């Protein structure tokens, strides 16, 4: 409910708003989550680091399919490493910056997506699961919202357990 975003078709505005909100939510986590908690998995749940990295990676992959392209080897490699903290572990600041950059690229792609192509077929993955441009763009936005929310919830759980 933010009003128009310059250059984005009104049909794609809900997706754009969801992406902007996800970016803001992630940026809000940075000052709240100490580096020591970024890769913690409370009760076996996914870490904050995973949710942030996966949000950006999935957004990249889904928008790649929306363009009618297949995944690159680099995208496939990144997918396999989304839950790995790295050595040394990647800091939340860096993860949020990288994912924020991906959201900016996604918003640029929304600006460049012509209305008359929204219902074009897009096959997803090796199985070529059926979708279309609009379906992929909206799924990417809702998926982003979901993982931003999960990162926030995980941060709250970790904060509550740290306080005892």
Q: What is the pLDDT of residue 164?
A: 46
Per DSSP, the three-state class of 131 is strand
Tokens of 16: 């754009």
Please return the burial class of 73, using the count of CB atoms within 10 Å of its CB with bins 0-12, 13-18 and 19+: exposed
Domain ranges of the chain: 10-163
Residues 6+ apart with CB under 8 A from 93: 30
Residue burial 110-143, b: 16+ Cβ < 10 Å; e: rest = beebeeeebeeebebeeeeeebebbbbbbbbbeb
Positive or negative CA dihedral for 56, 60, 65, 67?
A: positive
Q: What is the pLDDT of residue 162?
A: 56
Quick check: pTM over 0.75? yes
Q: What is the pLDDT of residue 2?
A: 78
The average confidence (pLDDT) of the chain is: 94
Q: What is the pLDDT of residue 159?
A: 84
Q: What is the pLDDT of residue 1?
A: 66
Is residue 50 within 8 Å of residue 37, measured between CB atoms?
no
Q: How many residues does the chain have?
A: 164
CATH number assigned to the domain with residue range 10-163, chosen from the 4 options 1.10.3720.10, 1.10.10.60, 3.20.20.80, 1.20.120.450: 1.20.120.450
pLDDT of the chain, 164 residues: tens digit per residue:
678 999 999 999 999 999 999 999 999 999 999 999 999 999 999 999 999 999 999 999 999 999 999 999 999 999 999 999 999 999 999 999 999 999 999 999 999 999 999 999 999 998 999 999 999 999 999 999 999 999 999 999 998 555 54
Tokens of 67: 């363009």
């Amino acid at each position: 409910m933010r009003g128009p975003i310059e250059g984005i078709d009104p049909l794609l505005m809900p997706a754009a708003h969801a992406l902007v909100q996800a970016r803001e939510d992630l940026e809000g986590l940075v000052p709240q989550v100490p580096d020591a908690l970024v890769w913690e998995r409370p009760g076996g749940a996914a870490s904050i680091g995973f949710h942030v990295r996966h949000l950006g990676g999935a957004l990249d992959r889904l928008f790649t399919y929306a363009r009618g392209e297949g995944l690159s080897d680099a995208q496939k490699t990144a997918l396999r490493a989304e839950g790995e903290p790295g050595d040394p572990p990647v800091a939340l600041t860096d993860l949020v910056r990288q994912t924020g950059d991906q959201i900016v690229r996604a918003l640029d792609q929304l600006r460049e997506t012509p209305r008359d192509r929204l219902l074009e077929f897009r096959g997803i993955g090796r199985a070529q699961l059926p979708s279309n441009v609009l379906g992929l763009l909206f799924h990417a936005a809702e998926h982003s919202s979901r993982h931003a929310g999960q990162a926030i919830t995980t941060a709250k759980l970790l904060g509550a357990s740290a306080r005892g």
